[in-house]
Structure 1
């Protein structure tokens, strides 16, 4: 798995309307060990612009191979109940789940996934008065491991607070549904990576950011540079400060961390990634 030439970290957003700096895209190049932010088109990224850039852009040189990490869940918990949702008995693979998310949300602009929450509201906790938070605490195996390793992890069904990931994940599932039919794109761990020009993995930026003793968000340039260098990389020449833009910092550090992790077989074959987990729930790259 060590033949990737480019590593992309994407800090993703599930907001109905994506604001400026809400999405960040960073690229690390293996031959230079430099990591840089990609300039967004028209001044800011949207989810659709990220998808278009990734699939149709000229950012990846001919003959190169990219590993792209999205910060968002690729699937729902499955193994705990033997299903994703009671209302979806026939959906027993991530691909089937992605298709249902797209079917429900197809009229929502910019790949927004909130319509799925409206359709299956009983499965999501949104701070409803009189409803018990614990009822919605379903986690995937990889998320349980994240919590055990003190990285923290939120379930996709909990939609309250700054750490929520549900709507970002649902919007990301719309993207994955669109990428699934591309012959040169593989989505790990559901697809074989051999021969794929682009491999897509799920990441949890916190896993890469909480390195070298660091805790919390990165909001100053000195800390950002130190954490990137802890992965054997460096910020690209001429890149200005990204102070107070923790989304950009997360993307940059994640790209550097992915570049280091990709060469370690242990991250591709963690003990908890059984065939059944790989078929149904997926895995956070960088956790083992």
Structure 2
């Protein structure tokens, strides 16, 4: 892929429906087929990366991976190496079931404390006991909007011993994590364009729980590329990852999504777009994925629309 590549049909359809085709075309120039030189030190300085892929059943999963700064790095911008030995991999993380040579992988390097993020989509070319290597297919920066600032103060690296639970309905602690969340990551996939993972954020409570199996997520004004929405327009399967920064847990959901346009939004929950994603749950897993991480919350994004009542 390069800065001149065409959008796929799903992206084009959503851009047209939203009336943002011209804006998307202007922003396409920032998309390249390798990591630009200025972003390579940024990737190497990160201790966290969001990932998205699909399992053997075609279900998308999003997850977070942690390591000492430098655990992810790229020398030439064409391949990204992630140093993650087998001893530190959490076998209960459904994301690992989809990591194998030839498989798609979406990556989002995001520094919450500075609201910087850089998105990379590619293909796994190596998976061994030392880590994985990803061939870059597309890479581009994202704007800093809707990121709640947090700083990762400490992170101790233990073994792959996280406790986990699973279910098929929102209840108990899972329900509480959703209601308090101000950050999520969403994984989608297109058969030709591959896997993608994107950030969504807002005021605590911006994810609306409709019932025990359904969520509604507002879609705020963004870069107009509509990568996530374009993928969902073609393939409705989606995976969500919701971090519980207070208790060190990671809630991962897989299911399907419905795109809603021109919805009633008197409270301004979408920031004026009147677009929502309705997420229909198939399965969730809750893991103690960050028990040794210590976060300090700084402030909310000044761009956040009001949360759903």
Normalised by the size of structure 2, how large is the TM-score? 0.28
Structure with the higher fraction of residues in helix conformation: 1
